Amino acid sequence: MDFSLSCPIPKSEYEKVLLAHGGGGTLSHQLINKIFISQFGNDYLNVQHDGAIIEFEGVKFAFTTDSYVVQPIFFPGGNIGELAINGTVNDISVCGAKPLFISVGFIIEEGLDLDELWKIVLSMKEASEKAKVKIVTGDTKVVEKGKGDKIFINTTGIGLVYDGINISPENAEVGDVIIINGRIAEHGIAIMSEREGLKFETKLVSDTAPLNGLIESVIEVSKKITVMRDPTRGGLASALNEIALKSNVKIEVYEKEIPIADEVIGACEILGLDPLYIANEGKVLIFVDESDAEKVLDAMRNHPLGRESKIIGKVIEKGKPLVTLKTLIGSTRIVDMISGEQLPRIC
The rounded distance, in Å, linking the Cα atoms of 286 and 31 is 27
Please pick, from the candidates 65, 171, 248, 324, the single residue that binds a second copy as defined by CB under 8 A. 65
Q: Residue 12 or 202: which CB sits closer to a second copy?
A: 12
State yes or no: residue 113 binds a second copy (CB under 8 A).
Answer: yes
Nearest residue (CB) to a second copy, 59 versus 329 = 59
Q: Least distance in Å: CB of 273 to a second copy?
A: 19
Q: Examine residue 93 and tell whether it contacts a second copy (CB under 8 A).
A: no
Alpha carbon distance 273, 257 (integer Å): 19
Task: In whole angstroms, give the CA distance from residue 28 to residue 293.
Answer: 33
**Nearer to a second copy among residue 51 and residue 213 (C-beta):** 51
Residue in 14, 13, 10, 31 with CA at minimum distance from that of residue 22: 31
Does residue 305 belong to the site contacting a second copy (CB under 8 A)? no
Residue 107 Cβ vs a second copy, minimum distance, rounded to whole Å: 5
Q: Between residue 127 and residue 156, which ones bind a second copy under the rule CB under 8 A?
A: 128, 134-144, 146-149, 152, 154, 156
Give the burial string for 149-188 (b: 16+ CB within 10 Å, else e). Answer: bbbbbbbbbbbebbeebebbbbbbeeebbbbbbbbbbbbb
Q: Which stretch binds a second copy (CB under 8 A): 9-17, 187-195, 241-249, 268-276?
A: 9-17
Report the side by side order of strands in the sheet with 285-289: 225-229, 285-289, 176-180, 310-318, 249-254, 322-326, 332-334
Minimum CB separation of residue 178 from a second copy in Å reads 24
Between residues 232 and 280, which has the closer beta carbon with respect to a second copy? 232
Residue 1 or 329 with smaller CB distance to a second copy: 1
Does 109 help bind a second copy (rule: CB under 8 A)? yes
Q: Supply the Cα-derived Rg of the chain in whole angstroms.
A: 20
Among 33, 44, 216, 271, the residue binding a second copy under the rule CB under 8 A is 44
Q: Candidates 45-53, 218-226, 287-295, 296-304 — which segment interacts with a second copy by CB under 8 A? A: 45-53
DSSP secondary structure letter of residue 52: E
Could you say whether residue 29 binds a second copy (CB under 8 A)?
A: no
What is the DSSP annotation of 147-203?
A: SS-SEEEEEEEEEEEPTT----TT---TTEEEEE-S--SHHHHHHHHHHHT---SSP
Tell me how many residues contact a second copy (CB under 8 A).
87
**Distance in angstroms (rounded) separating the CA atoms of residues 271 and 285:** 26
Per CB under 8 A, which region of 95-103, 165-173, 191-199, 318-326 contacts a second copy?
95-103
Q: Is 329 in the site for a second copy (CB under 8 A)?
A: no
Task: Give whichever of 69 and 258 is closer to a second copy, judged by the CB atom.
Answer: 69
Q: For a second copy, which is the closer residue by CB, 32 or 198?
A: 32
User: Distance (Å, rounded) from C-alpha 46 to C-alpha 1?
Assistant: 12
- Smallest gap from Cβ 210 to a second copy, in A, equals 16
* Angle in degrees, CA 27, 29, 30, rounded to 5: 65
Of 25, 64, 209, 282, which lies in the binding site for a second copy, with binding defined by CB under 8 A?
A: 64
Question: Which burial class, exposed, middle or buried, applies to 11 when counting CB atoms under 10 A from its CB (0-12, 13-18, 19+)?
Answer: exposed
First to last CA, the chain: 32
